[in-house]
Structure 1
Amino acid sequence: MTGIPRGPEDVTPDWLGTALGVDVRAVDVVPIGTGQTGATYRATVTYATAQTALPGSFAIKLPAQDDAVRERVALGYRSEVEFYTDVAEKVAIPVPACFYSDITEDGTDFVLILADMAPAVQGDQIAGCSEQEAALAVEALAGLHAPTWCDPAWTQLAGIAMPKPGDEAAAGGMGEVCKMAAEITTDKLGDSMSAEDRETLSAAMAVVTPWLLTEPQRFAVMHGDYRLDNMLFDPDRKRISVVDWQTVGVGLPARDLTYFTATSLVPEIRSSVERDLVGRYHKALTGHGVTDYDLDTCWRDYQLGAVQAPVLTALGYAFASSTERGDEMILTMLSRGCQAIRDLGTLELITSST
């Protein structure tokens, strides 16, 4: 038995060598980033003999060191391990290669040994992205959606974080949780959030149930939290890798698309380039083999998808501890997301569809 490291101190040469199936002489482990629901480390490896099939460093993902957090996000851990073991090789979205994975039955302990994508750099959620980065992101997203497009087999994934298409009971339950999350979020942020955004947030979270049940016949595997902080860009901004697969779902594909543009582009840029970005996404879908999905329908789905922004943002914030950067990021994402909902007429579209 290889076992699962409890923390970085357990990523020893013996453990890593057993997991990789080679003789490891030494390993140096240092943290990467400041994840709230998990922890990622860079492991630089010295092999006993020269290796041509394995890299010199890896990114190793482990659970949060706080036991309470582990229990709360166990479904997310299951989702991420399931993605790398059962989904990643069947889709075309660029992700780090996975060399090893393991998870306990209750999901509170897991490990992933992934390719180290350095010198790629993480997107800056607060600053927002450029048009070039946005184009990379939406074209990559089609590589996730197209290979899983309307295939009911994907609804059987065990780690789905959001209600499955057409599940009225689950959609109703999620709707109630979202209303609660909206109240908690507005209370926590107080006057930092504008009155207009508070109104939009409340209205959006009040229609989550019918929103989730809209267009149930059109679905694909979704990333769920498709935003800049979960993307790595090569220094030349010609390649992208997508990470953090703890919110995988199955639902209306364009929810991922609008969540990205609404939270990761400043509103002025979004409004000027979103038609082009939707066109790029649609063209990439057809290039991957999706048929019977015209651009007008894609644009309507994009309009509907904007509710994903307050849903994911408020759910993540309402039940988590606050930090200074975290609060700034949430305010930024909510402000951008609420503006997108108003600009796109999303709430009116949901009302007319039910």
Structure 2
Amino acid sequence: MRASVRTARAIGSVAGQALRVAFDRSVPTGGARAPLRVEDVTAAWLAEVFGVAPETIHHIRVVDAHSGTAARARIEVTSDADIPASLFLKMPPRNYFQHVLMNLFSLGAREIDAYRALGDAPPIRVPHCYATRFDPVRGRAVLVLEDLSPTARFRTVGDPLDRSEAEAVVDAMADLHAAFWQDRAGEAGTTSATRSEVETQLGILIRRRLLGTLTGHAADLVPATVREQIRIFYQRGREIDAFWANQPQTLIHGDPHLGNLFFEDSTPGFLDWQISTTGCGMRDVAYFANSSLEPELLREIERGLVERYAARLDAAGITADPEQLWTLYKVGIAELLLAIVCTAEAGERMQSPAVTRCGVARAVAGVEAHDSLALLAALLDDMRV
């Protein structure tokens, strides 16, 4: 397909979703299957979700609510029925731009797919998903999840993480990836949708816009050499996708920075599966380690983390070459750099400057330590031979 046609389709998709979201927000009373706002969550709707009589639910109180890439709310429920007294809801974001973005890249639908794939007995700790609702006409996605606040400790990217905690997260990632392991892309059993052609082209256009000239609040942290090298993500974006698709595939979280994790005692758990997909497991490991650990500590332990991951896969019956995983780890750091620099360039509506500056600094340290972008270019060149 010619690039001009792909671009036209991508722009058309943006326009269509912008109109769809504008209509949904201006005429919000439709889509009763998936409420637009937490204020629209009624006793009747909650009763339908849990399969109980509406008269058994007496009161719903919003304890707290905020909105980012999705709207999140914790509610308390007074009821005679056997349902949790506290619930956590994920819904369409309040910000118009983020709502359009959610629809364009099917973020809500991806998270629903991830919880369905994980099932009732997931291989790692995740919030229990009581129910999901999706309105295909309006594109709304709603998840009714376990409220973790009584038991979990939450972190931000800037919080310290020690060696034992990092090892526990890598162990959990190995368990997740082993449970969904595929030797090659396209095997039966794919766990979550890959990007569509329109999503791929749109991603390239967004990267070109954000990475062509860095002007965001973390631009000063990106050296000139890295600024030049990072253009590979829109200049050779489809080759990069093909490279990762040629690696063993599994269900990956996609965005496992420390802010998307929680801990119960020493056990880590994983939140926010909006960009989960079928992909290379080492991308999760590299992304987590380089976004969540201070570079000085990480340089000391990262090779051991990769070897630990390989040994955990081996114990699950999956043969993995530690040297090949180490190569994938080094090039996988570039994926973190792409994500965090684009987030910083998109502005504060995506993430706070403190968080993105910390993430950009760590990602730059990683790609410079391992020359990740040059390694990526070399691997792509090898594919052409």
What's the TM-score, normalizing by structure 2? 0.78
Question: What is aligned with 1:228?
Answer: 258
Q: Which runs of 5+ in 2 are unaligned?
A: 1-30
CA contact (8 A) 1:142 1:285 kept: yes
What is the one-letter code of the residue matched to 1:7?
R
Question: What is aligned with 2:39?
Answer: 9
**Structure 1: distance between partners of 2:304 and 2:188:** 32
Aligned to 2:273, the other structure's residue is in SS state: coil
CA contact (8 A) 1:71 1:108 kept: no
1:26 to 56, 59, 62: 59
Q: Which runs of 5+ in 1 are unaligned?
A: none
What is the one-letter code of the residue matched to 2:124?
I
What is the one-letter code of the residue matched to 1:73?
M
1:50-74 CA distances to partner (integer Å, 9 max, x unpaired)?
x3xx432111111112344222212
**Structure 2: distance between partners of 1:330 and 1:228:** 13
2:211 to 174, 177, 182: 182
The answer to whether the aligner puts 1:332 opposite 2:358 as a matched pair is: yes
RMSD across aligned C-alpha pairs, in angstroms?
2.8
Question: What is aligned with 2:368?
Answer: 342
Question: What is aligned with 1:65?
Answer: 94
2:132 to 68, 76, 101: 101
2:290 to 248, 253, 262: 262
Question: What is aligned with 1:141?
Answer: 173
The answer to whether the aligner puts 1:305 opposite 2:340 as a matched pair is: no
CA shift, 1:270, in A, is 0.9
1:196-254 CA distances to partner (integer Å, 9 max, x unpaired)?
2x5314413425534333251422222111110101112x3x11220111111222221
The 1:176–1:43 alpha-carbon spacing in structure 2 relative to 1, beyond 3 Å, is closer
The answer to whether the aligner puts 1:153 opposite 2:188 as a matched pair is: yes
Matches within 5 A, 1:161-172: 161=195
Matches within 5 A, 1:183-332: 183=212, 186-189=214-217, 193-194=220-221, 196=223, 198-207=224-233, 209=237, 210-214=239-243, 216-234=246-264, 236=265, 238-291=266-319, 293-318=320-345, 320-322=346-348, 326-332=352-358
- 149-158 or 295-304: bigger deviation: 149-158
CA shift, 1:103, in A, is 1.0
1:117 to 143, 148, 172: 148
CA shift, 1:340, in A, is 0.4
The 1:17–1:170 alpha-carbon spacing in structure 2 relative to 1, beyond 3 Å, is closer
What's the TM-score, normalizing by structure 1? 0.85
CA contact (8 A) 1:128 1:265 kept: yes
Q: How many residues align?
A: 337
What is the one-letter code of the residue matched to 2:271?
V
Aligned to 1:6, the other structure's residue is in SS state: coil
> Percent identical across equivalent pairs?
24
**Structure 1: distance between partners of 2:227 and 2:112:** 32
The 1:224–1:202 alpha-carbon spacing in structure 2 relative to 1, beyond 3 Å, is farther
What is the one-letter code of the residue matched to 1:3?
R
**Structure 1: distance between partners of 2:177 and 2:86:** 30
**Structure 2: distance between partners of 1:114 and 1:170:** 28
